[in-house]
Structure 1
Amino acid sequence: MAGGAKARRLPRVVRERQMVDAAVRCFARHGYQAASMDEIAELAGVSKPLVYLYLGSKEELFTACIRREAGALLAAVDAGVGGPEVPPDERLWAGLLAFFTYAAEHPDSWVVLSRQARTQGEPFAGEVARMRDEIVGFVAGLIGEAAGEADVVITGRDVDALAQALVGSAESLASWANETPGVAAKEAAATLMNFAWAGLGNLMKSERWSPR
């Protein structure tokens, strides 16, 4: 028996990952208030006292979920985007594709970030806001670069407004795509890219943006 117990022991980092995985799943399905620490422990295959020992209270566990999932989303977008030698429109396309792909492949994570965390007030909403600010800053930088290359004068306020609008559209579209059967991440990314870069007027004339 003792040997069997030792065989089941896992490093703390592995156990914590299992607990956060289970918590993300539970919070996404039931919401923060209705999620049960008992169910999270059961899904993770550990005792409830061990969850409290490793990750603290329910609030601390939810915060850990938000931080991990936000970090993973930002890392996915960052990895998908090319360097400054890549044209701004191609970088935006790559970033959108990475964003929608992550949301599609990690639907529970996206529900936690886009819906659950924002509706629970602080400190959870602030965690998501920091992630969003980073994405908005990235998009604003691309818009500014594109304007500079086109020799177009655009105010910082307009750049910020456009970046906010594009990120807000991406968030809404990602949720819609995940809830609509048959909508692939690439299709959602292309829809927003054409709307944002080619413009609605050009789309009405069947003029679409496409990667080089």
Structure 2
Amino acid sequence: MSQANNTHAGQHDDFEIEPVEGLPEKPPAGEQILWQGRPDTWALASGALSLKWIAGYFALLTLWRFVSVVDLLPFGQAIGASVPFVLLGVVVCGLLLLVAYVQARATMYTITTSRVVMRIGAALTITVNLPYTQVGNAMLDLRRNGTGTIALETMGDTKLSYLVCWPHVRPWHMKRVQPALRCIPEAEKVAGILAEAAQARISVPQVSRAPAGAAVAAE
């Protein structure tokens, strides 16, 4: 049985019914959910799985095959000799789209008034819990169609595995892994919600009780 890890202490059973979709437990009193969403399947396939590059690669292979045999074979046979590359490309791209769909359906990103929660993973489901006090910076990579990725630069002792969290990470940042809300629709709007929530949370004064017997400074 796989288990979902929290960046803080504690684990929960993946097969427990989520009290709130995407969250391992009900939010504590005073915490409100501001936004929830999933990656866009096509954007995830294109951005994280390089679907367009791979489709272009097979297109070049098909063209190379046709050009290499068109002088040796009749035109129709030259086309026929290139068809296997087209079919192989269709199969590979279809598999990438399937992986993107499964990943998107298994993912739930949640922004609350206190934290960002990422329920990710199709085969091994984990929950990444990031309070705003552990987020040093957030970076938006916005695409022309409105989808985009919000990468979170963590602080303190937060340690995440690049391979375990992929593709929900900022690409190629392996030494200091940056979890990311990948390929989400209306990314600019979501970034605004995140920025306002983090700023409001961090600006709230944190009052702690002084230890018993502590000396009080004289006026």
TM range (shorter): under 0.3
Of structures 1 and 2, the larger Rg is shown by: 2
Q: TM-score, normalised by structure 1?
A: 0.24
What is the TM-score normalised by the length of structure 2? 0.23
Q: Write 1 or 2 for the structure with the bigger share of strand.
A: 2
Give the structure with the larger helix fraction. Answer: 1
Tell which has more relative contact order, 1 or 2 (C-alpha 8 A, sep 6+). 2
